[in-house]
Structure 1
Amino acid sequence: MLVKKAEIIITAVKEEQYPPEGVPEIALAGRSNVGKSSLINTLINRKNLARTSGQPGKTQTLNFYNINDEFRFVDLPGYGYARVSRKEREKWAEMINRYLTKRQSLREVVLLVDIRHSPGEHDKMMYDWIKSIGCTGIVIATKADKLSKNQQAKQVSVILRELGVEDRSLIIPFSATKKQNKDKVWQLFDEVLEIG
């Protein structure tokens, strides 16, 4: 996809702050610091439209990005960050849940996991949830540049087994640094948007 326009529309906490329905949305879910913002920046060829941070738990809102006036990326708050109070974590969970269950424009929820580690409990819960609402079950395995091709293949098998992914081609090793599999991700997203 050729991205000619990319902008952040709004950072929302409440439903009434969401942009109007009608434009297809792809939501990105994953642990804190897994690389959701880096993925967005890489896909749209921008350095920092989506703010990245070395500090986990930075995204505490739903961030809506307009792409080419055709669709939106929605960056969800990262989960599983230990240093945040339980009350705060519950607030995020409620915010994410409300968006995912009520949003008519939502076409797909994509799970991001760190390829270097086995998926954790939160990842498994999120993946099961994504599948239960009828999404494809696309998994983007980030930070792939940190592993050799052989190690990547091994870790893809681990992710496949741990999450119970039915189709190996739905797990995409991705590197924001090396732009590895950027085209492959776009290809899947194009399919999602056409189906929608």
Structure 2
Amino acid sequence: MNEKPDPNDFTPEEIEEGRLLFASECEFFFGAQKLEQLPPFENPEIAFAGRSNVGKSSLINALTGRNRLARASSEPGRTKQLNFFNLGDRLTLVDMPGYGFAKAAKAVKEDWQNTMFAYLRGRPTLARVFLLLDARIELKKSDRDVMDLLDRAAVLFQVVLTKCDALGPNKLLQKRQELEAEIAKHAAAYPYVLTTSSNTGEGIELLRAEIFRLVKPKAN
């Protein structure tokens, strides 16, 4: 098993650059329900994927320091489009529709997979997908299916645990170790799991620093 990541892997400069990046202006600029509606390639993109109600909107809001940038739906699975946000003209954040919603018909779930696979495979500006998993919930078949989909699309993905404030240190460490063993089976998986909490801010600065490494240099 890979060693657990050391926060000291990020220099103080990277931590600060990550903070400054996410202090930049961030605005929603496009929503696409069909592949032919996607905006043109420009800045590097990072996408956030996860089951319905995993806390995607809360995490995006915590990263950007804005309460209402990404809006959570009260009805799981309601968001059906890819939402694009421009962060400081250096990075595009992509909020992907949630998956795994129980009430959806099989045809709807298959359509989600087909659309997302086509997006993932056909987007050369996509630098990484952050796959969000709820720390309180066991890994579901739909989570494994998405990992397989990311493998087939050959898109690098990194697991981010959300709502980690709900677990004690020992249970959180166990959860992290279990997931690192699971992702070791996937060719497209980044080997380290990040732990976060939108409520307490745990892990937010490290995730910002991780994302900073993926952006284009700031213009002089």
Q: TM-score, normalised by structure 1?
A: 0.90
**Percent of pairs with identical residues:** 34
Contact kept, 8 Å, 2:180 with 2:191, in 1: the verdict is: no
Partner residue, 1:120: 140
**In 2, Cα distance between the equivalents of 1:71 and 1:100?**
17
- Deviation at residue 165 of structure 1 after TM alignment: 6.3
Residue equivalent to 2:90 = 70
The yes-or-no answer on 1:143 pairing with 2:163 is: yes
Query: Partners of 1:38 and 1:29 in 2: how far apart?
Result: 13
- Structure 1 unaligned runs (5+)? none
Q: Deviations over 1:122-162 (max 9, x none)?
A: 21222233345444431100010111122111111121223
Amino acid paired to 1:41: N
Q: Does 1:187 align with 2:209?
A: yes
Q: Which runs of structure 2 are paired with 1:78-157 in the superposition (5 Å)?
A: 78-157=98-177
Q: Would the aligned equivalents of 2:158 and 2:190 in 1 still touch at CA under 8 Å?
A: no
Structure 2 alignment gaps of length 5 or more: 1-17
The equivalences for 1:15-26 within 5 A come to 15-26=35-46
Q: Which moved more, 1:9-18 or 1:180-189?
A: 9-18
Give distance in 1, aligned partners of 2:69 and 2:26: 8
Q: TM-score, structure 2 length as denominator? A: 0.81
Choose 184-193 or 126-135, whichever is displaced more: 126-135
**Aligned 8 A contact 2:117 2:149 in 1:** no
Aligned to 2:71: 51
Q: Supply the RMSD in Å over aligned alpha carbons.
A: 2.1
RCO higher in structure (CA 8 A, sep ≥6): 2
> SS of the residue aligned with 1:193?
coil
Counterpart in the other structure of 2:52: 32
- Determine which structure has more spread, i.e. the larger CA radius of gyration: 2
1:161 aligned partner: 181
Count of matched residue pairs: 195
